[in-house]
Structure 1
Amino acid sequence: MSSEVTSRADQAFHHLLKAETSKISVKPLTELYPNLSIDEAYEIQLKVIEMNVKNGSQVIGKKIGLTSVAMQQLLGVNQPDYGHLLDNMSVPNKGIISLEQLFQPKVEGEIAFILRKNLKGPNVTKEDVLEATQYIIPALEIVDSRITDWKIKLQDTIADNASCGLFVLGDNKFSLNGIDLMEIEMSLFKNGELMNTGKGTDVLGHPATCVAWLANKLSEYDVTLKAGEVILSGALSAAIEAKADDFFTAEFSHLGSVEVSFK
């Protein structure tokens, strides 16, 4: 990688870091660096994660974003993206989140996979994922962006850890025995009002296909999905904006519900 590209990645990293330390959102990276590549964006993401790990955080999983056709069309891309989950991003079920720690949060309902063995691409299939899964859990992801007004392109969201803020796992774990992930239905409620619905087929046709994509994508960087990691497989419906005193519930067929509130 050229020194010019390295310098640009460093500058972009510090641009996002400025937002993190000041809690004031910043201009899109793609506005400052119009020819920023996807590989550079992942390099910037890794710089952010490495800084957090150096400061005491621990990587406990991954998230997959842009798994729906609608979101891919919105950003003009034809593939998902991914980010890292850190231990300090985890919020207990029915927990309360302070808006002071976030920028412009939105809430999504997802299915989380917990692996019982490692998965490494490049040729991981949906069936491999199902065989490697220890259990699944209903989940909420609180997506967030350090980019002002969510004016993001693919490189912006990748660099910003795939716009991952926090996540919430339900209390109950479910074996895949007897569960057809394609048929799982999810209803997302805000303050008791139904906001939207989704189904397992809404994420690349099958949630396990998303995890397979992730394992294969990570193999390009010689990274393995590890046993015990939490994998958020992608939003089953559109993200809903969260403000003070809002509470959200995602109800899943076969999997129960998961809740979170904001103050």
Structure 2
Amino acid sequence: MLSKEQHISIADELAEAERTHTMVPLLTQRFPDMTVEDSYAVQREWVRRGIENGRRLVGRKIGLTSKVMQEATGITEPDYGAIFEDMIFENGSVIEHDRFSSVRIEVELAFKLKKELSGPNATIFDVLSATEYVVPALEILDSRIEMDGRTIVDTISDNAAMGAMVYGGNPVAPDAVDLRWVSALLYRNESIEDTGVAAAVLNHPAMGVAWLANKLHAHGDTLAAGDIILAGSFTKPMWVHPGDTVHADYGSLGAITCRFI
């Protein structure tokens, strides 16, 4: 593993890249012995300083939980990142494109927890019991590290490429619908770009949340009551440019729209 000083130095780079909307060179090219545990240590340091600077941690995102996302990235294991309050946009928001270094959109479901959820043996039933409601959400992916050739180590260090999220539609109790069959149509500027079904996320989107609770336990952490959990994408990332309008139709669960300027 890298030293604590190296973890801090990398977190400094990423914080500056976030501030300036730029990208840093691939970590794995500069630190070829860097491990997944190193990357989570970098992420924890980045989160720690965010909290220290007044940002409020409100949840987590899970990434790379579906085959389509694993194939799109060439990465075969899930990861997670932090969600700060200032990363959340409401349905219908107009969002400044240049607050990010790059913008891609993913279609997801968000779980709002009503009680603590912890590992090491959390199951889908524990997740459903701990969930207050599930709501449609879009994840805005951002990259503070160069994208070509990046590995799971680069991605995790980069807060799992979390940029922001947009939520909307109709919240539902976790047992009100079969969450596996929640589907969405993703549009950019009135043209359909992709479709997906939530079962693509580990056969059930709640499985992603269970994975996260168990992974966090291994890192000495837990999911708290009130946390928002993005469960993972069931569409491939869609590039978005200034002037684009994004619309995701979830059928009976409503729709989400946002515009980038």
Say whether the fold is shared (TM-score over 0.5).
yes
Match of 2:216 in 1: 218
- Cα distance in 2 between the residues matched to 1:73 and 1:237: 11
Residue 137 (structure 1) shift: 0.6
Code of the aligned partner of 2:252: H
- Asked whether the equivalents of residues 111 and 131 of structure 2 are also in contact (C-alpha less than 8 Å), the reply is yes
What is aligned with 1:131?
A: 129
Q: After TM superposition, list the pairs within 5 Å mapping 1:15-94 onto structure 2.
A: 15-94=13-92
Report the Cα offset of residue 71 of structure 1. 2.8
Cα RMSD of the aligned pairs, angstroms, is 1.5
Deviation at 1:133, TM superposition (A): 0.9
Task: Write the distance in 1 (CA, Å) between the matches of 2:153 and 2:114.
Answer: 32
Cα distance in structure 2, aligned partners of 1:78 and 1:13: 24
**Which deviates more from structure 2 when the two are superposed, residues 175-184 or residues 95-104?**
175-184
Aligned length: 261
Task: Give the letter for the 2:108 counterpart.
Answer: E
Moved more, 72-81 or 38-47: 72-81
Letter in 1 for 2:121: N
Q: Please tell me whether the aligned partners of residues 169 and 253 of structure 2 are also in contact (alpha carbons under 8 angstroms).
A: no
How far did 1:75 drift?
Answer: 4.6
1:242 is matched with 240
Q: Does the CA-based 8 Å contact 1:250-1:259 persist in structure 2?
A: yes
Q: Which one-letter code corresponds to 1:94 in the other structure?
A: G
Residue identity matched to 1:227: A
Q: Does residue 118 of the first structure (1) align with residue 116 of the second (2)?
A: yes
Q: Normalising by the residue count of structure 1, what TM-score does the alignment of the two structures yield?
A: 0.94
In structure 1, stretches of 5+ residues that fail to align are none
Task: Give the equivalent residue in structure 2 for 1:205.
Answer: 203
Pairwise CA distance, 1:77: 4.1
Q: TM-score, normalised by structure 2?
A: 0.95
SS at match of 2:252: coil
- Match of residue 167 from structure 2: 169
The structural deviation recorded for 1:72 is: 2.6
- 1:47 deviates by 1.1
- 2:69–2:233 CA contact under 8 A, matched in 1: no
1:73: Cα distance to partner?
4.3
Q: Deviations over 1:181-212 (max 9, x none)?
A: 11111111111111001101111111000000
Structure 2 unpaired stretches of 5+? none
Shift of 1:46: 1.0
Letter in 2 for 1:188: L
Aligned counterpart, 2:5: 7
Deviations, residues 7-62 of structure 1 (Å, cap 9, x unaligned): 32123222223322333211111111111110110111111111111111000000
Q: More displaced, 108-117 or 252-261? A: 252-261
SS at match of 1:148: coil
CA distance in 2, matches of 1:120, 1:17: 29
Q: Amino acid of the residue matched to residue 128 of structure 2?
A: L
| % same residue | 37
Q: Name the structure 2 match of 1:106.
A: 104
Question: Could you tell me how far apart the structure 2 residues matched to 1:74 and 1:144 are?
Answer: 15
Give me the whole-angstrom Cα distance separating, in 2, the residues matched to 1:150 and 1:192: 29
